[in-house]
Amino acid sequence: MTVRTTLEQAAKSVMGALTPGESQPDILDTLQAEHDEVQELLGKLVDSDSAREQKQLVEKIKRALVPHTKAEEKVVYDAVLALRGKEAKIDGNEGYIEHGLADATLKKLDKLTANTPEFKAAAKVLKELISHHVEEEERNIWAQVKENFSDKQREEMHREFLAAKKKVKVA
Ligand SMILES: [Fe+2]
Ligand SMILES: [Fe+2]
């Protein structure tokens, strides 16, 4: 392959990523990747027997989970809540309540002394809460997103989601 073809191909792929109308990331793909990441961290937290590692994992979970849920509420949940159907409104409200429960459990976990029975219990509750929440969200909320928003709208939601995440302050 010549240098010129390599450069032409590189330019083409950069333009492809920037040209409007070309395929952009879908909001649901990013949400999926973030769900997988948080669930993996929670699995490690529950399995860990080291106080030091547990504290590090709580910090990582906080930094991943808080921006995700806040941006998700703003960009996905509020769009679903604005839909006409009764089911959409119930699903959206349920998600908000579960985010609140997860947030409260995470705050509690953050205050507890690592590797104590109380800490281990709170870690388990958070893992179970998130697992249940993600399962329902991926089923119900995503069904609403797929049914009611076009590919273009979902690409726009993706951009808004990334921008909203940047604005979230993690205490
Ligand atoms: Fe989510
Ligand atoms: Fe969520």
Instruction: Chunk the chain into consecutive blocks of 10 residues (it has 171) and report each block's average pLDDT, rounded to whole numbers.
Output: 46 47 85 98 98 98 98 97 94 97 97 98 98 98 96 96 96 83
Rg (CA), the chain: 19
The pair of structure tokens assigned to 9 is 């191909």
Mutual orientation of helices 51-72 and 86-111 as an angle, nearest 10°?
Answer: 150
Query: According to the model, what pLDDT value does residue 10 have?
Result: 46
Query: According to the model, what pLDDT value does residue 11 have?
Result: 44
137 CA distance to ligand 2 middle (Å): 6
4 CA distance to ligand 1 middle (Å): 44
57 CA distance to ligand 2 middle (Å): 19
113 CA distance to ligand 1 middle (Å): 28
Alpha carbons 23 and 166: distance in angstroms, whole number: 23
- Ligand in nearest proximity to the CA of 102: 2
Neighbours of ion ligand 2 (CB under 5 A): 137
54-64: b or e for each residue (b if 16 or more CB lie within 10 Å)? bbbbbeebbeb
Query: According to the model, what pLDDT value does residue 15 have?
Result: 44
Alpha carbons 6 and 15: distance in angstroms, whole number: 14
94 CA distance to ligand 1 middle (Å): 13
Domain definitions of the chain by residue range:
25-166
Alpha carbons 21 and 46: distance in angstroms, whole number: 44
Q: Is residue 153 classed as helix, strand or coil in its secondary structure?
A: helix
Largest CA distance in the chain: 63
77 CA distance to ligand 1 middle (Å): 10
> For the domain 25-166, what is the CATH superfamily, name and number?
nmb1532 protein domain like (1.20.120.520)
What is the model's pTM? 0.85
- Ligand in nearest proximity to the CA of 34: 1
158 CA distance to ligand 2 middle (Å): 15
